[in-house]
Amino acid sequence: MKVSLLASVSGASFLCLLAGCIPVLATPAIETGVDNTQTIKFSEKASNRTTNENYKSAELALPPFSDSSQTTSESPRPSLGKNLLAQVTSVSQLSDVQPTDWAFAALQSLVERYGCIAGYPNSTYRGNRALTRYEFAAGLNACLDRVNELIATATGDLVTKQDLATLQKLQEEFSPELATLRGRVDALEARTTELEANQFSTTTKLNGEVIIAAIGATGGAPDRDDPNIILTNRVRLNLTTSFTGKDLLLTGLQAYNFLGGVDGSGSLQEGLGLASPILSSSSARTSFEPQFPGVEPKTLTEIGANSVQLYKLLYIFPVADKLTLFAGTAAEVSDAFPTITPFYGEGQEAISRFAGLNPVVRISGGTSGSGLASAAGFIFNISEQLDFRALYGSVSANVAQEAGEILPGVSGTPLGSGVFGGSSVVAAQLTFRPSSSIDIGLNYANSYHEINILGTGLTSSDIGALAGVDLGTPVRLNSVGGTLTWRFTPNIALSGYGAAFFVDDSSGAVDASTTFTSWMAGLHFNDLFHKGNNAGIIFGQPLYRTDASGAASLSPAGANRAVPYHLEAYYRFRINDNISITPGAFVLFNPESDSNNDTTTVGVVRTTFTF
């Protein structure tokens, strides 16, 4: 019924469109309905298309009011007669119809939109002659046929009564299942509403990492008993917040039970006799241990075991397609620079501090594990293969004034005070990826320290970098390094780094300088023996003084200078997506560059929970 009604209405509309055949519709109002713009456009169109080719095509067209789409082999095409009207495809084919004619728009619609109007074989329309009843019937019938065809096409995919009956039968048959599904959807909507009402934040996500590890060691300084096996933990909760969908605010909280303090007491390194006199720097340190356990290095105040600390506060935001800025008051160099080596991952990969990153990244407490520096910098994505990043960091930005001296030249705030008045670092990294299997990182750092230290936490030489020079002597460091990773198979990668530190006296009171070098090479295995299980074999040289001049010496008094070496192996068992266990060990030959020390072995069983 709806289809028939639609056809009737459309038929009435087409009857009105046959304005060229009904003189009573030729009123001035319609004539003025065609504006100048339309007239110009139609005139250009007519002049371009009115050619001999158009006339020829009109003569070869189908009989009047027929549709080429309806002509099939079962319905042969009638022969053309001289006096029959010929179907046209464009109103411009009608030589006696001009754009200025009052019925031009109506004819154009009937011809070009509906294809149900025809002209005479000589390409004329003869719009001013009287319309016979036969011609009117033929024209109206052609237009109605076209309307019915359009309706059939538009409604051909609609369901039939049989389809509706089948659908109703299926609905009745599966009504219990549909009711169950409806109940589940209602319950899901209720739970979603409750979660939205009680969610932690619409802009913030929470993730965390818990590390529980057993650590044992043997060797160390001569005439020392092996330290007891210790059980340690580190817990981190990280909040990642985005306000625009493109920016990121990182907030990190942590607690750990590593001991050390100012003099290193209670630490594994102090138990081995390998630690520096203060702050327990040593090559025997594990990857997940903070650089300054149990102490705030800015003020030398104690931190109790498992006290909650803010170790990360950093805001990252883009300012252009290729440029991103970042700033924060608790940041580390490793937050900004891409990690090239696959051995980095304090809770998942290498178990030693030596293997994880190039030492240049660690300079000036760049990976202290406690958010030592206030930093600001930029990330410039030059291309998909090239990336450049740089930052300025101040490790004493929140200290207003220096405290009094506790040692000659060493104050109670040993790193200095103020954003620009204390220890600071300018660091940069250029990352180059020439292919999908090769990553290259080039590092440079220029840093100033209020006291005679490196600030890497990698060896006991970290404290007293200029050997034989007072601890209170300020130093200037220029550090360069490069890291390469080559994934020569999908599951095996060769990775290594090289670094050099050039340390100079910055006080002007003494003339002293020294050079440190370090290198590492290793093989990393993905999905070894089982998917998700990783392993690594690492060998290299920890920081070692290769040169000294002026007042500086190559080794502290009493040491028997020797090249140190580091050998490490670990295997990570992935229990599931959230739990992994990593047993491993590393061996130190000539630890702390002193052959008087025994070969030292540190064994670790690390369990990591992530959520």
The number of beta carbons lying within 10 Å of the beta carbon of residue 577 is: 9
CATH number at residue 493: 2.40.160.10
Of 196, 221, 251, which residue is a domain's last? 196
Longest CA span, the chain:
128
* pLDDT tens per residue across span 202-220: 788 999 999 999 999 999 9
Quick check: 563 and 590 in contact, CB under 8 A? yes
Of 155, 180, 213, which residue is a domain's last? 155
Question: What does the pLDDT read at residue 156?
Answer: 58
Q: Quickly list H helices, 376-533.
A: none
Residue 224 and residue 77 share a domain = no
Ordered mean pLDDT values, 10 residues apiece, the chain (611 residues): 38 39 33 34 34 33 34 35 55 79 79 74 78 77 78 65 77 81 87 77 88 96 91 96 92 94 89 88 94 92 93 95 94 91 95 96 92 94 95 92 88 90 94 95 96 94 93 95 96 97 92 96 96 96 95 90 97 96 97 95 97 93
- Cα distances (Å, whole numbers) of residue 160 to 2, 152, 169, 425: 14, 13, 14, 78
Range of the domain at 129: 2-155
Residue 218 and residue 136 share a domain = no
Residue 312 and residue 224 share a domain = yes
Question: What does the pLDDT read at residue 159?
Answer: 60
Residue 182 and residue 84 share a domain = no
Residue 344 and residue 330 share a domain = yes
pTM > 0.95: no
Taking each helix axis from N to C end, the angle separating 133-155 and 2-17, rounded to the nearest 10 degrees, works out to 140
* pLDDT tens per residue across span 225-276: 999 999 999 999 999 999 988 999 999 999 999 999 888 888 999 999 998 8
Residue 263 and residue 150 share a domain = no
Question: What does the pLDDT read at residue 506?
Answer: 92
Residue 383 and residue 319 share a domain = yes
Residue 352 and residue 305 share a domain = yes
Question: What does the pLDDT read at residue 85?
Answer: 52
Q: Quickly list H helices, 113-207.
A: 133-155, 161-173, 175-198
Residue 535 and residue 501 share a domain = yes
Please state the domain count of the chain. 3
Residue in the structure block whose two tokens are 């304090």: 346
Residue 208 and residue 112 share a domain = no
Of 527, 439, 447, nearest to 488 by C-alpha is 439
Q: SS3 for 469? A: coil
Which residues touch 273 (CB under 8 Å, ≥6 apart)? 220, 221, 224, 597
Of 96, 122, 155, which residue is a domain's last? 155
Of 13, 23, 229, nearest to 127 by C-alpha is 23
Q: Are strands 405-407 and 323-331 parallel, antiparallel or unpaired?
A: unpaired
Query: What number of CA atoms fall less than 13 Å from residue 506's CA on the CB side?
Result: 20
Residue 448 and residue 299 share a domain = yes
Q: What is the full DSSP assignment across 426-465?
A: EEEEEEEEEETTEEEEEEEEEEEESSSB----SSGGGBSS
Residue 241 and residue 170 share a domain = no
Question: What does the pLDDT read at residue 99?
Answer: 81
Taking each helix axis from N to C end, the angle separating 175-198 and 161-173, rounded to the nearest 10 degrees, works out to 70
Strands (DSSP E) contained in 289-364 are: 295-296, 301-302, 309-318, 323-331
Task: For residue 538, give the H/E element and its range.
Answer: strand 534-550
